[in-house]
């Protein structure tokens, strides 16, 4: 018998609905829900161990997977089975994790896993916008301690009107693509890309999404109530000791405050804080340390956070001595690496990124093969964050989720500024060499300069800045160009990128509850001032894209040819094109335009001479003589019944000049008139309806001799 189900419906206000269902699937999970919009269905489960972990952090895993069967497709590859998550799946995991994680109790230490699976796909529904709603609903249906229900929604703007959870086709016409995560009271996460919008427009988009999220939160609470809200489980909240907390505070607060006020470098400051920590630990006996060392260190970290925040709020002074709106010193350099197609160094304070650009053909495009989306990216950016950039040593085990997320943010910031007619596939790689505050924004700046150095005709240069916020409810300080420590100690970390004319991408994590929109807009405007300052530094280094690509970089020429000539250019078994690439030192790629069915030929080479030879071959292959036109030809073969001639303007294109078309008078021997290598003009008459072959004539260009009366009489008699 099918079990009883509990359902809720969320009306999106435009005829579309989101349905929540529980009670039918995955009943052994601690919470499970099916979220459906159109034909798209996501199953989300949550399980949290009842046994406390020995780890000193909250071991939360958020996993999002798209099943190929959901779209009626087979996985690619040899094994025909879903394997490691794609970058798109990882990005969805991150946007859900960033909203959920802060809402679990800070002292909760049990292994918790949220699994979201796309089980059915709808072309008109983008499932990543539903993942946060699914995760929060599953948690609400469980007994896991969690502060408040949340949800996430995508917002677009088409023809000036905001659209909630737009389809992929609508996004193609939208100038905004943002996902917002929020509770009923507070916005907590924003991520997306925009087409140079203003700070006020961005705030309006966030507010629009928040109003829809409030309805989604209410639906979750109604479903949990109908299903039967489970009592929140009890767990060991961890040890507390007021006496120890007071002792640590009295011993450390002022010392930390004074060190923080000293404006030291990251290393010196870290060493000074560590020295104070050792002094605090020395105040306790070996027996006390054996029992409470972890608790003492926790209280020390709490005091450190309190002192640094108070310094900024009370005196407007930051850890490195800067004012709240001050940007660290910047230096930049382009063309640093001699062999790459484009390179740039961007250094801001103790953060440094070295970006490289590689130019290629459509063959180097990045293939996207997900159940919900297939396509190619001709611009993509990769971000690497090695251990040495923070002075650490640890094993490297593949690309981290953080690297994927930061690279995607920088890619979204820059991609809108590529020219429409850019012929290249462009790969940007950012190597983070130092990090103390927003290496992703350093990547945007280095990437901009590297592309201009490579000769990419960017519409406008882009810069980025990481901002922070410290607030105690009454006082607040907006911090420009935050340090790594300020990111950890603050109430908001938001990164904003843009041109001089508007925002192109953003990523925000907001920890303070009920942040007024006025403060958000103020922070965004302060970010704009910082962006423009950084942009000025970039354009001092390189103000315009280089006129051409570097001498050792490939030049690319694109030529369209009629579909009927593609086979001739490729040749049997690829013989013609392979030989052409070998002799010209070029790379040739031929694609077919699905709309016009023309052949798109891309020629990539470092030497213009080789490219010109390929173009000449294309002209030769696609040559079509026009009826009535005169062409210069060369005799390439002498036959008994005529000569074979080659068009001088189209080498390789040959046609028979019949013996009867050599001269007006009768020709007995071809060799009496023409020999091998002779150059002459012929007139083209089109296809001869009798022979069905092209007809050319030499005699048509010669004056016809006058016939004598006697010859005419003889002809009549005959």
Residue 573 in tokens: 């078994």
Helix (H) or strand (E) holding 244: helix 242-261
DSSP calls for 340-385: SSEEEEEEETTEEEEEEEEEE-GGGPEEEEETTEEEEESEEEEEE-
Calpha distance 343→546 (Å, rounded): 12
Task: Tell me the backbone φ, ψ of residue 521, rounded to 5 degrees.
Answer: -65, -40
Taking residue 290's Cβ as centre, other Cβ atoms within 10 Å add up to: 9
Strand order in the sheet with 587-592: 555-561, 599-605, 587-592
66 by DSSP, 3-state: which?
strand
Catalogue the E-assigned strands of 28-101.
31-37, 40-52, 60-66
Calpha distance 338→453 (Å, rounded): 12
Residue closest to 44 by CA, chosen among 60, 58, 65, 59: 65
Q: Are 468 and 318 in contact (CB under 8 A)?
A: no
Calpha distance 152→189 (Å, rounded): 9
Which residues carry a binding-site annotation for Mg(2+)?
487, 493
Q: Provide the total of helices (H) and of strands (E) in the chain, helices listed first.
A: 15, 29
Q: Are 427 and 357 in contact (CB under 8 A)?
A: yes
Task: Tell me the backbone φ, ψ of residue 52, rounded to 5 degrees.
Answer: -70, 140
Compute CA distances 632 → 369, 573, 677, 696, whole Å: 52, 32, 12, 11
- Pairing relationship of beta strands 379-384 and 425-434 according to DSSP bridges: parallel
Q: Are 658 and 650 in contact (CB under 8 A)?
A: no
DSSP calls for 542-594: --S--SS--TTSPEEEEEEE-GGGHHHHH-GGGHHHHHHHHHHT-EEEEEE-T
Residue found under tokens 């260009």: 701
Calpha distance 331→340 (Å, rounded): 21
103 by DSSP, 3-state: which?
helix
Which residues carry a binding-site annotation?
487, 493
């Amino acid at each position: 018998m099918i079990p009883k189900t509990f359902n809720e419906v969320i009306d999106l206000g435009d005829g579309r609905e989101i349905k929540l269902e529980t009670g039918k699937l995955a009943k052994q999970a601690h919470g499970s829900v099916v979220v459906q919009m159109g034909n798209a269905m996501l199953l989300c489960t949550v399980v949290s161990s009842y046994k406390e972990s020995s780890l000193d952090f909250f071991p939360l895993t958020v996993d999002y997977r798209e099943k190929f069967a959901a779209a009626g497709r087979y996985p690619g590859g040899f094994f025909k089975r879903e394997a490691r998550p794609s970058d798109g799946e990882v990005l969805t995991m991150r946007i859900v994790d960033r909203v959920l994680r802060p809402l679990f109790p800070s002292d909760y230490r049990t292994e918790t896993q949220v699994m979201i699976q796309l089980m059915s796909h709808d072309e008109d529904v983008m499932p990543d916008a539903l993942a946060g709603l699914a995760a929060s609903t599953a948690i609400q249906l469980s007994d896991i301690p969690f502060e408040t229900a949340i949800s996430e929604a995508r917002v677009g703007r088409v023809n000036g009107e905001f659209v909630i959870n737009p389809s992929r086709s609508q996004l193609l016409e939208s100038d905004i693509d943002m996902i917002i995560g929020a509770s009923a009271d507070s916005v907590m996460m924003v991520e997306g890309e925009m087409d140079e919008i203003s700070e006020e427009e961005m705030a309006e988009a966030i507010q629009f999404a928040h109003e829809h999220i409030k309805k989604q939160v209410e639906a979750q609470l109604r479903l949990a109530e109908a299903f039967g809200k489970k009592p929140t489980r009890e767990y060991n909240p961890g040890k507390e000791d007021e006496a120890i907390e007071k002792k640590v505070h009295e011993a450390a607060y002022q010392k930390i405050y004074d060190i923080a006020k000293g404006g030291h470098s990251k290393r010196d400051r870290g060493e000074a804080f560590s020295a104070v920590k050792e002094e605090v630990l020395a105040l306790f006996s070996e027996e006390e340390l054996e029992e409470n060392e972890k608790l003492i260190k926790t209280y020390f970290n709490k005091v450190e956070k309190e002192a640094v925040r108070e310094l900024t709020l009370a005196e407007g002074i930051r850890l490195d001595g800067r004012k709240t709106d001050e940007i660290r010193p910047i230096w930049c350099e382009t063309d640093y690496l001699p062999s790459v197609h484009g390179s740039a160094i961007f250094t801001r304070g103790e953060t440094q990124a070295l970006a490289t650009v590689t130019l290629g053909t459509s063959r180097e495009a990045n293939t996207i093969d997900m159940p919900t989306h297939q396509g190619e990216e001709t611009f993509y950016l990769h971000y690497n964050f090695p251990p040495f950039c923070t002075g650490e040593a640890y094993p490297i085990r593949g690309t981290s989720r953080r690297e994927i997320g930061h690279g995607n943010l920088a890619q979204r910031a820059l991609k809108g500024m590529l020219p429409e007619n850019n012929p290249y596939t462009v790969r940007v790689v950012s190597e983070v060499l130092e990090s103390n505050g927003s290496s992703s924004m350093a990547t945007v700046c280095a990437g901009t300069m590297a592309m201009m150095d490579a000769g990419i005709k960017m519409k406008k240069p882009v810069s980025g800045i990481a901002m922070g916020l410290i607030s105690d409810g009454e006082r607040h300080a907006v911090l420009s160009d935050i340090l790594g420590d300020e990111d950890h100690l603050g109430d908001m970390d938001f990164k904003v990128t843009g041109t001089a004319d508007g925002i192109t991408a953003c990523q925000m994590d907001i920890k303070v509850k009920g942040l007024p929109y006025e403060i958000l807009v103020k922070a965004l405007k302060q970010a704009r001032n910082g962006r423009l300052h950084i942009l000025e530094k970039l354009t001092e280094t390189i103000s315009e894209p280089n006129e051409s690509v570097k001498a050792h970089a490939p030049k690319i020429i694109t030529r369209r040819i009629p579909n009927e000539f593609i086979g001739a250019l490729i040749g049997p078994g690829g013989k013609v094109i392979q030989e052409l690439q070998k002799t010209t030192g070029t790379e040739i790629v031929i694609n077919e335009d699905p709309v016009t069915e023309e052949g798109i030929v891309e020629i990539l080479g470092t030497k213009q001479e080789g490219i010109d030879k390929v173009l000449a071959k294309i002209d030769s292959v696609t040559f079509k003589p026009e009826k009535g036109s005169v062409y210069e030809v060369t005799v390439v073969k002498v036959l008994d019944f005529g000569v074979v001639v080659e068009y001088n303007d189209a080498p390789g294109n040959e046609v028979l000049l019949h013996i009867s078309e050599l001269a007006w008078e009768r020709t007995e021997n071809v060799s009496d008139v023409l020999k091998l290598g002779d150059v002459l003009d012929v007139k083209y008459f089109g296809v001869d309806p009798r022979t069905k072959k092209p007809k050319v004539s030499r005699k048509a260009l010669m004056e016809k001799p006058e016939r004598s009366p006697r010859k005419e009489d003889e002809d009549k008699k005959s």
